[in-house]
Amino acid sequence: MMDTHVAFHESVESMAMLPREYRVMFEIEQEYWWYRGLRVLVNELLARYTAPDGSSRILDAGCGTGKNLQLFLERGDARGVDIAQEAIHFCRMRGIPAERALVASLLELPFPDEYFDVTFSFDVICNIQHDVAAFAEIRRALKPGGRLIAQLPAHQWLWSAHDVAVGHKYRYGVADLRAKISRAGLHVETLTYLNTALFPFIALMRFARRPASKNGQAHSDLTPLPRVVNQGLTRLFTAEMRRALDWRSPYGISLLAIARRVD
């Protein structure tokens, strides 16, 4: 584990996601196109990397408002942690038991060594200044042969008001992310881009909103859309997510890393 003093200050920094964004997430997570596509990918990953008999121990590292954690609880012995009390409040509203969703830092996980078979983390490690230490702490809690499956934002040049609103410290390049995961003692098995089809549109939108990241008006991209638009984006994104594990995209908005503890 990290020094407690350092972990405390890192935990405070990682709370930079604006509190209002948790409520937005909670309210739109069921139907919003991006989350629906992500859940398609999550189900594919669960089928590949967890035991069919439900015996796998699963960690949701940065569980947010708990929608993915509900999926993990259906497929194994799952626990979720998040540094923000607001996030855990919404987990409770979803009916997730107190012992299954905890307030905790990814730099000081409240679990023993070699406990989990697989850890999922979606757009959270990028919120921690010492991200390598977070990767290393996740490694500590993984069993030998266990896997970290992490989605993280790609391309620093895409930085925008969205990153400010959700508390990002980093956006990653392939070489940079591979090096950081490797420094933490994990072996990278897969590293590929996600959200490729919508890349040009999202990139243009991020550039248009970049001034808001500097004037205190930062809001995330999580905005309710007209139903027909949301349905169209859902069909496009879910189709991409169904083949994401079998096709290596050369570019995209996010990166998917699958890394294994080899000792």
Q: Give the pLDDT confidence of 204-235 residue by residue, as tens digits.
A: 877 776 665 454 555 676 778 899 999 999 99
Phi, psi of 149 (to 5 degrees): -120, 110
Average pLDDT over residues 8-16: 45
- Count: domains in the chain: 1
Q: Whole-angstrom Cα distance, residue 256 to residue 178?
A: 11
- Domain encompassing residue 238: 4-260
Per-residue confidence (pLDDT) for residue 169, from 0 to 100: 94
Q: Whole-angstrom Cα distance, residue 123 to residue 151?
A: 6
**Cβ contact 53:77 at 8 Å:** no
Report the run of H or E that residue 203 belongs to, with start and end: helix 199-209
pLDDT tens column, 228-237: 999 999 999 9
pLDDT of 49 over the 90 cut:
yes
Average pLDDT over residues 37-59: 97
Average pLDDT over residues 67-79: 97
Query: What is the CATH classification number for the domain harbouring 97?
Result: 3.40.50.150
pLDDT of 7 over the 60 cut:
no
pTM: 0.89
* Dihedral angle sign, alpha carbons of residues 60, 259, 180, 247: negative
Tell me the sheet residues that pair with 81.
Answer: 61, 102
